[in-house]
Structure 1
């Protein structure tokens, strides 16, 4: 991270800058695709694992997945980690403890359409939270608006005004809170302290976030009981713990280090497209003409907004 920040203050060859930008956008796309699979997989846990327990075991699995590679670096970077424990705790609270737990809670009392509609606000929130250190520009703003229009029309089944007719439920407020937590986490990543590498940052935020979930996990066990560790619960937990957590968070954080939270957030608009394509491939759900047009609109907006500025 320190090397990246120093590199921004010096002139670099155009080819090198373009390469870093391309890698950053591909990493943001990779995280978005993986998280899209998380929405499909999470449905399998809706009736079998309580939300807090899903979140707790997700992060325990993620912690175990990154520990072998991260622990040696954590030991070397411990002085910097200890100095910035407050920053790490805030990042863990937003991106680990709150974000996914609130999504699982929202899914119990609101529709998938409402959730997708509210989640579409994440890139705009990221741009708002990061405005102090990043400028999206006219081109980026236009791309964000075009992509958002495609998302609104897609989840509205062809009607851009369908959002005005959505029925509000308690889960909608949970989803708003989840989206705000994710946007705050993404904007916060640009201020990651020097001396803390990517893997140590992940390990510490996973560990702190899981620790913050322990009291809620204990209450959930008492009130709701545990769950049966069978293939139908362990398999999805392994996916969201390893792929949607360890892998996706690493690629997302690296993408933000390379291209910034705002431009990476524009790529996040592709999530409804990815979910639709994954549902078509995995669940054999039909994709209509309106959906195709909306997907093209979203992709065009992302391409415009994420494109490299002179």
Structure 2
């Protein structure tokens, strides 16, 4: 019996090591970041495609109304159960809503009035630099591979914006996107400090509610001055896309990715966005695609691969 007890005390299956678990979490985090990046790419094409039919603020406001309806079955009850925690951390939630919901997408929509979808995606790819700076200031070590990959991808972005030149000229629309990139990078870095007790769905739903409320006065002013937009398939369809996919699904995936791998590593995957936007804008809007873009895309992809891999310790 003693022999049998001794055998039972040593299970045949060995527990997975922390390295295996970390590798699985890193892979899932990078996959979620890639999913959000690909889905978000369509929102830049939408912003450019609707620039003549839907005013920027109205575009942003209805985007989040649609997102609230899509997320309500999952997030409303969770937000109600966690209302005490949300009140306790209301400043954090409000800042996240301001940066990531109210301001960021409105700036991108405004940029769509005077710049191309390709340029929007390319310039927004600079936001991972902001994320990496925040993490470095917080004491995180980025590692040689991630720094080299970030620099390589950033070089590809700069060359892409400058059409082969390292001194790109920026239009007013490009400057709006630069401001949006700073907001999105700050939002992503802020997520790394999210209190652990705030559940994902509850936190996301609360930011959507607050962000839409912040946009409501600007929306009312836009309707009063510019008038509403025509409700037809050409306007409702894109708004449903950005509300359901680019907002509810993509933001949930992005927030989860940052929780798993951090803002700087998820931000490296975000460099894939200009490649996706360039392909979509070429296929949907008919924007130009030349050898310069293809070479720069190769630099961006190479930088993403380099920065996303981890060398042996």
TM-score, length-normalised on structure 2?
0.88
SS of structure 1 residue aligned to 2:113: coil
Instruction: Give the whole-Å Cα distance in 1 for the aligned partners of 2:185 and 2:82.
Output: 27
**Which residue in the other structure is 2:258 paired with?**
256
Going from structure 1 to structure 2, the CA distance change for 1:264 and 1:62 (only over 3 Å counts) comes to same
Instruction: Give the whole-Å Cα distance in 2 for the aligned partners of 1:20 and 1:201.
Output: 21
**Which residue in the other structure is 2:309 paired with?**
307
CA apart distance, 1:50: 0.6
Count residues in correspondence: 296
Give the number of the structure whose alpha-carbon radius of gyration is greater: 2
Residues 182-210 of structure 1, C-alpha deviations (whole Å, 9 max, x = no match): 01100000111121111111100000000
Segment of structure 1 superposing worse, 175-184 or 277-286: 277-286
Residues 20-77 of structure 1, C-alpha deviations (whole Å, 9 max, x = no match): 1011001101111011111122222111111110000000100111011112212222
**Which residue in the other structure is 2:160 paired with?**
154
SS of structure 1 residue aligned to 2:192: helix
> Please, which runs of 5 or more residues in structure 2 have no aligned partner?
1-15
Match of 1:107 among 108, 112, 120: 112
Instruction: Give the whole-Å Cα distance in 1 for the aligned partners of 2:53 and 2:185.
Output: 29
**Which residue in the other structure is 1:56 paired with?**
61
TM-score, length-normalised on structure 1?
0.89
**Which residue in the other structure is 1:174 paired with?**
176
**Which residue in the other structure is 2:101 paired with?**
96
Match of 2:220 among 197, 211, 218: 218
Instruction: Give the whole-Å Cα distance in 1 for the aligned partners of 2:234 and 2:300.
Output: 34
Going from structure 1 to structure 2, the CA distance change for 1:167 and 1:124 (only over 3 Å counts) comes to closer
**Which residue in the other structure is 2:10 paired with?**
none
Residues 108-127 of structure 1, C-alpha deviations (whole Å, 9 max, x = no match): 23455654453232111111
> Please, which runs of 5 or more residues in structure 1 have no aligned partner?
1-10
Could you tell me whether the CA contact under 8 Å between 2:96 and 2:207 is conserved in 1? Answer: yes
Could you tell me whether the CA contact under 8 Å between 1:134 and 1:260 is conserved in 2? Answer: no
Are residue 194 (structure 1) and residue 200 (structure 2) matched?
no
Instruction: Give the whole-Å Cα distance in 1 for the aligned partners of 2:306 and 2:106.
Output: 33
Instruction: Give the whole-Å Cα distance in 2 for the aligned partners of 1:82 and 1:297.
Output: 45
Instruction: Give the whole-Å Cα distance in 1 for the aligned partners of 2:160 and 2:170.
Output: 17
- Which runs of structure 2 are paired with 1:2-17 in the superposition (5 Å)? 13-17=18-22
